[in-house]
Amino acid sequence: MKLSHKTLVLVGCLALGFLLSDSQGLVLQDTLIDESATSLNRHRQTVRIGKAATVILIVNAVDGTIGNGSGFFIQPDLIVTNIHVLAGIRGESYTWEIRAVNQPTQYTITGVVASDPEHDLVILKVEGKATEVLQLGDSDTVKLGEKVIAVGTHGSIHKDALGKVIEGTVSRITDDFFRVKTTLLPGYSGGPVLNSNGKVIGICAEGGESKSSGSVIPSSHLSALLKNKSEQEKSSEEWREEPMIRAYALANRGDAEKVLGSTKDAIAAYDAAIRLMPDFATAYAKRGSAKYNLGDYKGSIKDHNAAIGMGLDYAAAYVNRGVAKRNLRDYKGAIQDYNTAIRLDPEHVEAYINRGNAKSDLGNYETAIEDYSTAIRLKPKGIMLPLAYVRRASAKSDAGDNKGTVTDYDEAVRLKPSNLGILTIAYLNRGRAKFDLGDTKRAIEDYNEVIRLKPKNAVLARAYVHRANAKSKLNDNQGAIKDHDKAVRLVPEDIDFVAHVYGRRAAVKLKLTDNKGAIEDCDAAILLDPGLAEVYKTRGEARSNLGNHSGATEDYDAAVQLRPDYAEAYYKRGCAKVEIGNALEAKVDLRTALKLAKWESDQALKAGIEEKLRLLK
């Protein structure tokens, strides 16, 4: 076919257009690949330099290593870290040791050239060759949502714990600190926080394995400290004797005592720190937490008030004060504190979880579930995510959503939380939800798992009791009695719980027609707790079975006095009165029982009462 000149030109232009379009696509694709590769290489370079410039600071006491933190080179002979890392524990004799995290290099501290107690920063002069030196970035340019990298050492000098990199995003910015959404592990204090260009925009200051975010000191404070550093360094011993540094050391002692369970000694150490540094807001907050552990909720609130009044606007301070208020049943005041924490840090997972707890206390299960759901959507690291599922499951259970309860406990178990308490509660409460759904065999499987995990005696005892209830429902009554026996032996000091177990064991013995054994258990339960209506009802049944209908009537009297709406007790008393020939009073009790059974929608009990009334006509 012959084509005209115009046609050939048009075809040529179209072909050229396709070629240009294809070429542009290839250029764009190559550009994206190059940018991706550049970004990856820059990240690798940041990690490499960050690790090379980071050091571990080890505090050695007479009896061995008592702590460690991180630091980094900001000049070839200058290392930055937190004061609380270096201050040690007041009164202890110890030495410092500094090592590179990625090679067998040690450094010797020759002195302190500058420190800033207000912002927990200290600059050390050292002997030894720096492998890398980090450049300071401008923390004033940090933006919300910006990705950052923290480098540090977690908990030991094992090579697997040295120079580990944690990535996170900035979730809050203030002049004195910013929050990073990630779990800054113990030992990261003093380590560098780097932006995507590998520059220091902050210094790790506070975190924890159970926390979903950590605090970072902006690099602007370090820049100011560098400008004002002294040409003549102080000896570390001289520096340690400064009142504010001694205050940090005493606060560290308080932290150590608290970990060891010596809460009163911890408070004494915080007291001493505050005397040396009256505006030490962090010490007030720590003392408030210690007082909370002793059950001094009012004292805890007072200390947190002081810390907040001094300008400590960490969301955690409001959360902790809210928790203390909740324990005083000031649920509305607690919720106000959690609201403030969330306003300060909209991604503060602990605030959402605790606000959900307070709302659950008020019976606001729907809005509590919303708070737990928000915490879950934030995808926190560590134990916070499984905890959020556990708490949401509990709220769903209270709201009557047993299937949703099981689903949330399934997820909590799947996450395999490192915290044994959360894991055991997930199994235990999932078992209870399955039991309520009629899935008794699988409920027993969950109780078995709790028992296998060997939690604290209080939780273990409850697992045995719940398994006993499930076994009894499957008519394994001997197995149920054995489980009740184990539960009593585990927590003999818990009088209320033991009384409850005696009552449950009595009911099982009643099923086995061991009426004398049932009465003995009821006697023991009533001696410990005379307010158990169900136990009086059980003893009444056992006495009736032995022909003691007058004694049974007395027990049913006690049961309905304790629980005026106890339909089954009225029914049983009516039956006992029939046996002793008091038909008129029996009918009154049976009619009362019938009204209550209808109100409770207990169809089986209702049918039994109606049959008894029919026979009395």
pLDDT higher than 80, residue 143: yes
What pLDDT score was predicted for residue 61?
66
DSSP 136: B
Torsion on CA atoms 454, 458, 460, 466, rounded to nearest 10: -160
Burial 127-148 (b: 16+ CB within 10 A, else e): ebebbbebebbebeebeeebeb
Task: Name the residue with higher pLDDT: 187 or 13.
Answer: 187
Residue 12 located in a structural domain: no
Query: Is-contact 216 193, C-beta < 8 A?
Result: yes
Strand partners, 193: 150, 202
- Using a 10 angstrom Cβ sphere, with 0-12 exposed, 13-18 middle and 19 or more buried, the burial of residue 231 is exposed
Q: Which of 151-155, 186-190, 328-332, 454-458 shows the lowest mean pLDDT across its residues?
A: 151-155
Secondary structure of residue 110 in the 3-state scheme: strand
Return phi, psi of residue 4, to 5°.
-70, 165
pLDDT beyond 50 at 7: no
Q: What's the distance, Cα to Cα, between the start and end of the chain in Å?
A: 112
Q: The CATH number of the domain where 90 resides is what? A: 2.40.10.120
Torsion of CA 342, 344, 347, 352, to 10 degrees: -20
Q: Name which residue leads in pLDDT, 164 or 107.
A: 107
**Which domain range does residue 73 map to?**
51-231
For the chain, percent of residues with pLDDT exceeding 90: 66
pLDDT on residue 1: 38
- The rounded mean pLDDT for the chain is 88
How many CA atoms, within 13 angstroms, populate the side-chain half-sphere of residue 78?
19
Residue 197 burial by Cβ neighbours in a 10 Å radius (0-12, 13-18, 19+): exposed
In a domain, 285, yes or no: no
Quickly state the pLDDT bin for 331 (edges 50, 70, 90).
Answer: very high
The mean pLDDT of 394-415, rounded to a whole number, is 96
Asked whether residue 617 is domain-assigned, the answer is yes
**Spatial contact of 120 and 85, defined as CB atoms under 8 Å apart:** no
Q: Which of 276, 83, 273, 295 is nearest to 285 (CA)?
A: 273
Paired residues of 125 in beta bridges = 78, 111
Looking at residue 445, what is its pLDDT?
A: 98
Question: Looking at residue 206, what DSSP letter applies?
Answer: E
CA 287, 291, 293, 297 torsion-angle sign: negative
Residue 177 has pLDDT above 70, yes or no: yes
Is residue 307 domain-resident? no
167 or 376: which carries more pLDDT confidence? 376
Mean pLDDT of 296-313: 95
Identify the three-state secondary structure at position 153: coil
Looking at residue 82, its amino acid is N
Would you say residue 65 lies in a domain? yes
In a domain, 473, yes or no: no
Minimal CA–CA distance to 269: which of 108, 397, 90? 90
Q: Total domain count for the chain?
A: 2
Query: Is there a domain that residue 536 lies in?
Result: no
Single residue among 169, 197, 231 that ends a domain in this structure: 231
For the chain, the helix, strand and coil percentages under 3-state DSSP, each to the nearest 5: 60, 15, 25
CATH number for 612:
1.25.40.10
Instruction: Please give the Cα distance from 186 to 87 (Å, whole number).
Output: 16
* pLDDT over 60 at 36, yes or no: no
Quick one: tokens of 331? 């649920």
Q: What is the mean pLDDT of residues 217-229?
A: 92
Q: Which pLDDT score, from 0 to 100, does residue 78 have?
A: 93
37 is a domain residue? no
Mean pLDDT along residues 218-239? 88
Neighbouring-strand partners of residue 173: 178
Domain boundary among 194, 214, 231: 231
What pTM was computed for the model?
0.79
* β-bridge partners, 121: 116
Q: Where are the alpha helices (DSSP H) in 415-490?
A: 420-436, 440-453, 457-473, 477-490
Q: Which residues fall within 8 angstroms of residue 366, CB to CB, at 6 or more apart?
A: 399
3-state helix/strand/coil string of 564-588? CCCHHHHHHHHHHHHHCCCHHHHHH
Last residue of a domain, one of 231, 247, 282: 231
Q: What is the pLDDT of residue 161?
A: 46
Q: Between 102 and 171, whose confidence is greater?
A: 171
